[in-house]
C-alpha cells in the first residue's frame, strides 16, 4: 500500500515498485496530485495501479481501506501536506492532516496486523546542524516550521509504537532535497501555484511561466555566499524505498525502527545549481539576489555511509541528470497543456 502514491515522490516509487514485481495499491485524496498520473505510470510500466481515492484524515474511511484489502504486506506512507510557508500560516492544517493521517494508518495497521511501515521523513529534523556531513547520529532539533515538526513528531510516534509492539517494524527515510524526474518525461514534480522549492522555480522560469528567480541571500558563510544543499534524484530515492520495503519483508532490519539519510553526500550552492542548469539547457535564466528566506540554514548535506552499509544503497545519478530530467518533464508538461 502506497499512501500519497499519486504525488511526486510516491509516483516515482510506484513505478520502481512495479518494475520490481510488487503489486501496488495507492491511497490518495488527490489534494496535491491528479488521477492522470495513473495513465503515466501505465505508459512507463505497462501496469495501471489501483487507486482508492480517500482522505486518510478520516479514520472510518481509512479503516475501510484496510478492512477490504486484507492482503497488504507493507505500507509506504507518503501522504502529507508539504509546503513549509503554508504550514507557518496554517499550522493546524498541517498538524491535522499529517498527524491524523499517520495515526489513522498506524491504528489500522495494528488492527489488521500489518507490521511493515516505511515513513517519508526529511532532513529538516536536523534543524541547523552543528556537525557536517549529517549522520543519523546527529541530534535532531525542533524544526522551525510546523511542517518540519510534523516529521519530528511522527518519528517519535513511530518509535513509541515499535517500542511497545515487538512485531511492528518501521524504517524512516530522511530525504535531503529531492529533484529530477523520470527519464521518459512522463512523471515529474508539479507544484500547486507558485513553487516554493528551487528546482521547480528554476524550470518554470526557464520555460517562461515565471519571470525572475529570486536567490534568497548571498551572505551565507559558504564559498559563494548562497546556501548549500544535498540535491538527490527522485529515481534514486524511489529505488531506496524498494530496498527498504524488501529489507522489512525479508526481516533483515537490525532494530525495530531504523532511520536512514537519503542524500548523495554532495553539497551544491544555489548559484552552482543555477550555473549548472544554464549549462545543461544552454540557456540563461533571469535571476536576482534578494533577502534571505526566514528559516533557511546555510549548509545541509548528508553522510551516506549508513545507508550504503546497511541498505547497500547509494545514489547513482549526478546533478546534470537531475537537471536534464527535470527540464524534460517541465517542457513535456507545458507542451501537453498547449
Residues that bind ligand UD1 (CB under 6 A): 82, 84, 122, 124, 148, 177, 196-198, 201, 213-216, 227, 229, 270, 293, 295-296
CB-nearer residue toward ligand UD1: 42 or 293: 293
Among 168, 175, 327, 329, binds ligand NAD (CB under 6 A): 175
CB-nearer residue toward ligand UD1: 231 or 333: 231
CB-nearer residue toward ligand UD1: 45 or 214: 214
106: which 3 cell numbers?
A: 498506524
Contact status: 8 vs ligand NAD (CB under 6 A): yes
d(CA 78, CA 334): 26
- Name which of ligand NAD, ligand UD1, none residue 84 binds, using a CB cut-off of 5 to 8 Å depending on partner kind: ligand UD1
Do 145 and 84 form a contact (C-beta atoms < 8 A)? Answer: yes
Q: Name the DSSP letter for residue 135.
A: P
d(CA 94, CA 90): 7
End-to-end CA, the chain: 35
**Is 147 tagged catalytic?**
yes
User: Count of residues binding ligand NAD (CB under 6 A)?
Assistant: 26
Least separation in angstroms between residue 102's CB and ligand NAD is 9
**How many other CB atoms sit within 10 Å of the CB of residue 34?**
14
Q: Is 41 left (phi over 0), alpha (psi -120 to 50) or beta?
A: alpha
Contact status: 184 vs ligand NAD (CB under 6 A): no
Least separation in angstroms between residue 225's CB and ligand UD1 is 11
Least separation in angstroms between residue 289's CB and ligand UD1 is 9
Instruction: Give me the half-sphere count of Cα atoms (radius 13 Å) on the Cβ side of residue 276.
Output: 17
d(CA 32, CA 6): 8
- Apex CA 132: angle with CA 262 and CA 253, to 5°? 35
What are the catalytic residues?
Answer: 147
Residue numbers at the binding site for ligand NAD (CB under 6 A): 4, 6-10, 28-33, 55-57, 78-82, 97, 101, 120, 122, 175, 178
Amino acid at each position: 500500500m502506497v499512501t500519497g502514491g499519486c504525488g511526486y515522490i510516491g509516483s516515482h516509487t510506484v513505478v520502481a515498485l512495479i518494475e520490481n514485481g510488487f503489486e501496488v495499491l495507492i491511497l490518495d485524496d488527490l489534494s496535491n496530485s491528479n488521477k492522470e498520473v495513473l495513465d503515466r505510470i501505465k505508459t512507463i510500466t505497462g501496469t495501471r495501479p489501483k487507486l482508492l481515492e480517500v482522505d486518510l484524515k478520516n479514520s472510518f474511511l481509512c479503516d475501510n481501506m484496510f478492512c477490504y484489502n486484507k492482503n497488504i504486506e507493507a505500507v509506504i506512507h507518503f501522504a502529507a501536506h508539504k509546503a513549509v510557508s503554508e504550514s507557518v500560516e496554517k499550522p493546524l492544517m498541517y498538524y491535522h492532516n499529517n498527524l491524523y493521517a499517520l495515526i489513522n494508518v498506524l491504528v489500522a495497521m495494528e488492527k489488521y496486523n500489518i507490521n511493515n511501515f516505511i515513513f517519508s521523513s526529511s532532513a529538516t529534523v536536523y534543524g541547523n546542524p552543528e556537525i557536517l556531513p549529517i549522520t543519523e547520529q546527529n541530534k535532531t532539533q525542533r524544526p522551525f516550521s510546523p511542517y518540519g515538526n510534523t516529521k519530528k513528531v511522527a518519528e517519535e510516534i513511530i518509535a513509541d509504537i515499535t517500542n511497545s509492539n515487538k512485531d511492528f517494524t518501521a524504517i524512516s527515510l530522511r530525504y535531503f532535497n529531492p529533484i529530477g524526474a523520470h527519464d521518459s518525461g512522463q512523471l515529474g514534480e508539479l507544484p500547486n501555484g507558485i513553487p516554493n522549492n528551487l528546482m521547480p522555480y528554476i524550470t518554470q522560469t526557464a520555460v517562461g511561466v515565471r519571470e525572475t528567480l529570486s536567490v534568497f541571500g548571498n551572505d551565507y558563510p559558504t564559498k559563494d555566499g548562497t546556501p548549500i544543499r544535498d540535491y538527490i534524484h527522485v529515481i534514486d530515492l524511489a529505488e531506496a524505498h524498494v530496498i527498504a520495503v524488501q529489507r522489512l519483508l525479508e526481516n533483515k532490519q537490525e532494530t525495530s525502527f531504523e532511520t536512514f539519510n537519503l542524500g548523495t553526500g554532495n553539497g551544491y550552492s544555489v548559484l552552482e545549481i543555477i550555473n549548472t542548469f544554464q549549462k545543461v539547457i544552454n540557456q540563461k535564466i533571469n535571476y536576482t539576489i534578494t533577502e534571505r528566506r526566514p528559516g533557511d540554514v546555510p549548509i545541509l548535506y548528508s553522510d551516506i555511509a549508513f545507508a550504503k552499509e546497511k541498505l547497500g544503497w547509494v545514489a547513482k545519478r549526478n546533478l546534470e541528470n537531475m537537471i536534464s530530467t527535470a527540464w524534460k518533464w517541465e517542457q513535456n508538461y507545458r507542451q501537453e497543456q498547449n
